[in-house]
């Protein structure tokens, strides 16, 4: 059963209240404490009661209604089905996952079942697997060992997908340790069926801990560095004095820092310039020194620029190296405030989507945009260029000419049909062009998303040879290539005339040879051959006892100095 829809699932992603106020889960409990440092739980009646209370308060487990005396019935001694534990884990971790397409649903899990979204999300994230590859058996009782494995995978998934580098704060952190500790707690019942109170204790163990104090590591004596980017500011430049002040290790002197990547919610630049073309990115392998080392790169020339529209607190890790060559980790907290009134002035538009082949051009369509809008400004990404009022068949655009679109250019709605989108040579993938549009005084923000598809630009060169012939296939590659040109396609006569070199892959059977001098030699797949030097090519067959025709495929690339074009030689060996 294949579903093509978007489902917002309250399953497996962060809404915990913790130190990382942006969505950062990974190695942190809901109270902000690193996983693996939770309080050691004993299986006593008191801890079971604490776990049960926690499950109720966090709405991880719901009851069965009320008994005759009006008390809620939670059935904590009841066994748990596989479908129900998936739902409990989903509620416990509260991660928000968007899934565009569900493929290969379990045959025994229907989309109308209450556990469907939790199970399919957990499957998508690798937390649960089917019992036979096709079925999940949601009504089968779960064992203690199976439950521990699901909890262990959930923590690991959260760590790998959300933490993005922050686990380096905790040298001893290992997601598997949680599973090992749970197995130790339940070591005599691993093969038994798990009860609701067993699951409650597992989740309580993982999700609770002492309050985290906000320091990176008390033993390291390195304080957090805090910056604030006010609503009227665009960026913050670091101050080397803040780093030396935060460093407070006895008998050691601050030498230099390296920044730990990835950096979330913004970008680090060195010697930042608001002209994007002049910017240099900070390198995680580069050493940055304080102002006393003027012959090195300096900390006080490092600038953090937040993403457009971002607000909240983001965190950047760094390592200090001392004069004794010891290293210590530190944390920079940057709070970004956005002018809420200005943000409210913009309404978000739905994304406009186009699709095109690589090394071709695309013209926008006015009909794709909202009809109420009458003025537009586009942010041109680095992977493409955009032009106004040029021919789609004209590939020779002058970057310095009047037709090239810049970010400050304004267009009326009737101009949209004249905007041409040009990806960089050989680029494939998705590109997003942000734009701001206006309807009178009302402002809107939207995205044009263009998918550039990889294509075979050169038509397939189809040749044939008779298997019973003693002679092998000899052909003039340049003439055969010339015959493939078509002025209505990508591979035009002008493209062919501009080609300089060609590079071949080797066939999966038989031998490809090339003649550039007095005799044939085997093709070297690492060599670019000058197209004008190729006298002829030869395909040497292999003996085949099969009675059916064989099709041999040989991929190649042709180059014109700035672009490359993909092609295929298809040789039919006729029986």
What tens digit of pLDDT does each residue of 232-269 get?
678 999 998 899 888 877 778 888 999 987 787 889 99
Torsion sign, CA atoms 126, 132, 135, 138: negative
In this structure, what DSSP letter does residue 377 have? E
Whether the Cβ atoms of residue 359 and residue 457 lie closer than 8 Å to each other: yes
Residue listed under structure tokens 């006593």: 44
Q: What is the pLDDT of residue 478?
A: 94
Q: What are phi and psi of 342, to 5 degrees?
A: -65, -40
How remote is the C-alpha of 201 from its chain's centroid? 34
> Residue 209: its pLDDT value, please?
47
CA distances from 547 to 39, 178, 196, 469, 540 (A): 71, 60, 64, 15, 19
pLDDT at position 85: 92
Could you count the other beta carbons within 10 Å of the beta carbon of residue 450? 21
Q: 247: which DSSP letter?
A: B
CA separation, residue 181 to residues 113, 126, 313 (Å): 33, 21, 33
Please tell me the predicted confidence (pLDDT) of residue 418.
87
CB neighbours of 79 closer than 8 A, spacing ≥ 6? 141, 193, 194, 195, 196
Q: In what order do the strands lie in the sheet with 362-363?
A: 362-363, 419-423, 384-388
Q: What is the CA radius of gyration of the chain?
A: 31
Q: Count of alpha carbons within 13 Å of 408, Cβ hemisphere only?
A: 0
DSSP 34-66: BTT-SPPPP--HHHHHHHHHHHHHTTSS----B
- Report the alpha-carbon angle 374-379-382, nearest 5: 150
Question: What pLDDT shows up at residue 219?
Answer: 40
Segments of the chain scoring below 50 in pLDDT: 1-40, 96, 98-103, 161-173, 209-220, 340-344, 394, 396, 399-400
Tokens 């907290």 -> residue? 333
> Which pTM does this prediction carry?
0.35
Across 25-166, the runs of DSSP E, i.e. the strands, are 96-102
What's the confidence (pLDDT) of residue 17?
27
Tokens 């978007």 appear where?
6
Residues in the chain: 575
List the one residue out of 275, 337, 284 whose CA is nearest residue 311.
337
Q: Which residue's entry shows tokens 């392998």?
A: 285
Question: Under a CB-based contact definition with an 8 Å cutoff, are residues 478 and 461 in contact?
Answer: no
- Give the Cα separation of 200 and 247 in Å (integer): 42
Show Cβ contacts of residue 536 under 8 Å, excluding neighbours closer than 6 positions.
474, 475, 476, 477, 515
| Residue 79 structure tokens | 């066994």
CA distance 105 to 274: 49
Collapsing DSSP to helix, strand or coil, 276 comes out as helix
The token duo for 232 is 């009227």
Give the distance from CA 387 to its chain's centroid: 30
Helix axes 196-207, 82-93, angle to 10 degrees: 20
Question: Distance (Å, rounded) from C-alpha 149 to C-alpha 182?
Answer: 10
Beta strands in 63-133, from DSSP E residues, in sequence order: 96-102
Map tokens 């290969």 to a residue: 104
Name beta bridge partners: 321.
256, 327
Two tokens at 268? 């680090």
State residue 433's pLDDT score.
93
């Amino acid at each position: 059963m294949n579903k093509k829809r978007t489902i917002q699932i309250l399953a497996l992603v962060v809404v915990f209240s913790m130190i990382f106020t942006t969505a950062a889960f990974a190695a942190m409990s809901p109270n902000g404490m690193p996983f693996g440092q939770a309080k050691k739980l004993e299986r006593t009646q008191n801890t079971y009661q604490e776990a049960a209370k926690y499950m109720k308060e966090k709405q991880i487990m719901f009851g069965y209604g009320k008994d005759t005396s009006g008390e809620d019935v939670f059935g904590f001694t009841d066994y748990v089905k596989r479908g129900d534990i998936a739902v409990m884990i989903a509620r416990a971790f509260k991660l928000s996952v968007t899934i565009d397409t569900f493929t290969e649903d379990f045959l025994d899990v229907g989309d109308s079942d209450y556990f469907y979204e939790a199970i399919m999300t957990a499957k998508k994230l690798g937390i649960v697997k089917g019992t036979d590859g096709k079925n999940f058996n949601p009504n089968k009782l779960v064992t203690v060992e199976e439950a521990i494995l699901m909890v262990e995978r959930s923590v690991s998934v959260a760590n790998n997908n959300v933490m993005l580098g922050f686990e380096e704060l905790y040298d001893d952190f290992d997601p598997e340790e949680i599973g090992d500790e749970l197995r130790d707690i339940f070591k005599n019942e691993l093969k038994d069926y798990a009860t609701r109170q067993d699951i409650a204790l597992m989740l309580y163990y993982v999700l609770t801990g002492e309050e985290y104090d906000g320091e990176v590591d008390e033993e390291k004596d390195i304080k957090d560095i805090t910056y604030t980017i006010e609503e009227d500011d665009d960026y913050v430049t670091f101050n080397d004095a803040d780093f030396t002040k935060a460093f407070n290790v006895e008998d050691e002197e601050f030498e230099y820092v390296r920044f730990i990547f990835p950096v979330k919610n913004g970008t680090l630049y060195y010697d930042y310039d608001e002209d994007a073309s002049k910017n240099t990115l900070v390198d995680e392998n580069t050493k940055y020194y304080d102002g006393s080392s003027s012959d090195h790169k300096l900390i006080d020339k490092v600038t953090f620029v937040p993403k457009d529209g971002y607000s909240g607190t983001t965190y950047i890790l760094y390592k200090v190296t001392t004069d004794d060559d010891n290293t210590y980790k530190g944390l920079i907290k940057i709070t970004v405030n956005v002018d809420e009134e200005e943000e409210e002035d913009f309404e978000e538009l739905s994304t406009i989507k186009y699709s095109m082949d690589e090394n071709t051009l695309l013209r926008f369509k006015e009909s794709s945009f909202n009809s109420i809008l009458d003025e537009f400004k586009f942010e041109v990404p680095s992977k493409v260029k955009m032009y106004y009022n040029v021919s789609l068949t004209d590939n020779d655009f002058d970057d310095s000419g009047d037709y090239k679109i810049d970010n400050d250019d304004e267009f009326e709605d009737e101009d949209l049909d004249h905007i041409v989108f040009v990806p960089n040579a050989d680029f494939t993938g998705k590109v997003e062009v942000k734009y701001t549009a206006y309807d009178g005084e009302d402002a809107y923000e939207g995205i044009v998303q263009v998918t550039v598809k990889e294509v075979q630009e050169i038509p397939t060169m189809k040749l044939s040879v008779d298997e019973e012939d003693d002679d092998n296939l000899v052909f003039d590659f340049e003439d055969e290539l010339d015959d493939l040109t078509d002025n209505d396609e990508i591979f035009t006569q002008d493209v062919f005339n501009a080609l300089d070199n060609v590079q071949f892959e080797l066939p999966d059977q038989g031998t490809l040879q090339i003649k550039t001098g007095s005799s044939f030699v085997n093709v070297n797949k690492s060599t670019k051959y000058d197209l004008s030097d190729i006298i002829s090519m030869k395909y040497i067959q292999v003996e085949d006892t099969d009675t059916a025709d064989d099709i041999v495929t040989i991929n190649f690339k042709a180059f014109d100095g700035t672009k490359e074009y993909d092609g295929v030689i298809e040789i039919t060996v006729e029986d």
